Amino acid sequence: MGIKIFNPRSHASRNKTGFDFKEITKKYPEKSLTTSLSKNGARNNTGMITMRHIGGGHKRRYRLVDFKRTKIDVVAKVLAIEYDPNRTCRIALLSYVDGLKAYILAPIGLNVGDQVISSETADIKPGNSLPLSAIPVGTTIHNVELRAGKGGQIARGAGVGAILVAKESDYCQVRLPSGEVKKILSVCRASIGQIGNTDNENIKLGKAGRSRWRGIRPGVRGMAMNAVDHPLGGGEGVGKGHHPVTPWGIPCKGYKTRNSKRTEWTIIKRRK
């Protein structure tokens, strides 16, 4: 896993970096574990844009990743480490002893030929899945469930990992990658280890075209718009003294938008 630097033969390649993909051992995905991925340009069923700056992008096949790890007490062997265009981390192809195949997120230290298992008595090694109650305090974990049986929702991006910091009766305290400490039920499952592909944060796209390949369209500054289109738009020349807001007038720097009273009590420490 390393970064590839390109020779500056053009303005675009002068600052461009990419992956060397040395950790990838299989070129094409397992056909039975893929499905089609349709695009809607971030529009809902009425045709209204629900998220700006999304559209286009390269055609992809979606990899069916097993976030639940519900195949309990069955040993699986790692057949390959693969690239997944739908996420920043790599995925590992597993083959269970009964012949079933599945994808999981590939943590640091998981290699081809290793064996993993989802069990309450599994060893504390990368790739194994256990309930939080069976994991020692201080262990780095990923793919953490918020509701038992729903599948992992936390710590799934490249290079991230949560830490189990405490246990108390029916709940465990987990420090999330953002620094927030959250109470999660002890019966929820998590996988051992830190997610791989840690160099993802150091990649420089180098040109606008690489963003378009990812389905990210250009964004326009509010100050460059007309007054009818944005609260910061209009005016003669460059306007100063505005507070940064969204096109709908909501402050967008430092303004708290979280309002979930149902889960407020689970937060032990804020990320700020």
pLDDT for position 240: 76
Tokens for 71? 């195949």
For 212, the 3-state DSSP assignment is helix
How far is residue 172's CA from residue 132's CA, in Å, rounded to a whole number?
A: 7
Cβ burial of 125 (10 Å; 0-12, 13-18, 19+) is middle
Tokens for 170? 């029916």
How far is residue 177's CA from residue 147's CA, in Å, rounded to a whole number?
A: 19
For residues 5-16, give the mean pLDDT. 90
How far is residue 201's CA from residue 220's CA, in Å, rounded to a whole number?
A: 24
pLDDT for position 30: 96
The confidence band for 1, taking pLDDT boundaries of 50, 70 and 90, is low
For residues 191-217, give the mean pLDDT. 96
How far is residue 67's CA from residue 143's CA, in Å, rounded to a whole number?
A: 7
- Our CA angle for 175, 179, 185, nearest 5°, is 30
pLDDT for position 258: 85
Is residue 272 predicted with pLDDT exceeding 80? no
Beta strands in the chain (DSSP E): 3-5, 17-19, 34-36, 61-63, 76-82, 91-96, 101-105, 115-116, 129-131, 140-142, 144-145, 152-154, 162-168, 171-175, 181-185, 189-192, 267-269
pLDDT for position 68: 97
pLDDT for position 239: 74
Q: What is the pLDDT of residues 25-68, one digit of tens each?
A: 999 999 999 999 999 999 999 999 999 999 999 999 999 999 99
Could you tell me which of 127, 246, 253 has the C-alpha nearest to residue 190?
127
Q: What is the pLDDT of residues 87-135, one digit of tens each?
A: 999 999 999 999 999 999 999 999 999 999 999 999 999 999 999 999 9
Q: What is the pLDDT of residues 142-182, one digit of tens each?
A: 999 999 999 999 999 999 999 999 999 899 999 999 999 99
Beta bridge mates, 63: 34
Q: What is the pLDDT of residues 208-218, one digit of tens each?
A: 999 999 999 99
How far is residue 225's CA from residue 230's CA, in Å, rounded to a whole number?
A: 6
pLDDT for position 37: 95
Only one residue has tokens 């944005």, namely 230
User: What region does 89 belong to: left with phi over 0, alpha with psi -120 to 50, or beta?
Assistant: beta
pLDDT for position 12: 85
CATH no., domain 3-201 = 2.40.50.140
